[in-house]
Amino acid sequence: MSTTTKIAQIISISSALMGAGGILALSLYSVPQLKAQPADRSLPAIRWIFSRGSHTFPVAINTSTAGFLYLAYASIPSNLRTINQLFKTTNGLKVNGYLAASILSFSIAIYTAWFMIPNNFDLIKKNEEKGGARSANAAKIVKEQGYKPGDRSAEDSVWSKGEGNEFTDFSGPMRKTESASSEAEDREVWEKLDQFGKQNLWRALGLGLGGVVGLVTALY
C-alpha cells in the first residue's frame, strides 16, 4: 500500500466520522438547548450555527467524498484503471466499498438541498423579521446601515448582504433579536427547530455510514 493511499484513507475516514459526530451533536445537544429558550434568543443562535456549519460540514463532506472516490479508483488494477471501469459492479469489494462510502458521504449534500433548506430558510427568515443577524458583529453592521427588522430577506442574510464579510467574522452569536417573540412565535420556532433536529439526524447517519463503510473497506 502506497503512502498516498494511507494518507487518503486517514483523511477520508476521519473527515466522515468527525463530520458525522459534529452533525449528530447539533441534534442531540444544541437543538434541545435552543428549544428551551424563547424564539427571540434561539433564532440568532441557530442562525449563527447555520453560518458556522456552512464553513465546516461541507468541507468534511467534500473531503470524504473525494477521498473515497480516489481510493476506489486507486484500488482498480493499473491495467484496467479507467473512469468507466470505476462504475462497474464487477470490480470487487475494495473498489465497490470505497465507491459506496463516497456515495453515502455525498448523499447528505443532496438530502440537505432537497429536504432541509426550506425549513432552514424559514428559520433564517424569521430571524430577520425579528431583527436578528448572522452574528454579534453582523448585528452591529446591520444597525449602522439603518436596516430595520424585516427589511432583509433570508437570501440577503445567506449572501451576507449588509452584514459584512462572513469569512472574516469570528464573533459569537447575537444574544437576542431586536423584537421580542410572542408565545405563538416561540411555539412555531420550536416546531421548526424540532424538525431541523430530526432531519439533521439523517445527515449524521449518512455521513457516519460513509465513514464506517470506508473504514471496513480499508481494513478488508
* Residues near 175 by beta carbon (within 8 Å), at least 6 away in sequence: 41, 44, 136
Angle, CA of 113, 116 and 117, to the nearest 5°: 65
Query: How many domains in the chain?
Result: 1
Residue 116: per-residue pLDDT: 96
- Show the domain range for 111: 3-219
Helices (H) and strands (E) in the chain, counts: 9, 0
- The per-residue pLDDT for range 72-84, each reduced to its tens digit, is 999 888 777 777 7
pLDDT tens over the chain, length 220 residues: 788 899 999 999 999 999 999 999 999 999 999 999 999 999 999 999 999 999 899 999 999 999 999 999 998 887 777 777 777 777 888 899 999 999 999 999 999 999 999 999 999 999 999 999 999 999 999 999 888 888 899 999 999 988 999 989 999 999 999 999 999 999 999 999 999 999 999 999 999 999 999 999 999 8
Which amino acid belongs to residue 102?
Answer: S
Q: For 49-58, b where at least 16 C-beta lie within 10 A, e where not — what string?
A: bbbbbeeebe
Q: How many CA atoms lie within 13 A of 39 on its CB side?
A: 26
**Computed over its alpha carbons, how large is the radius of gyration of the chain?**
21
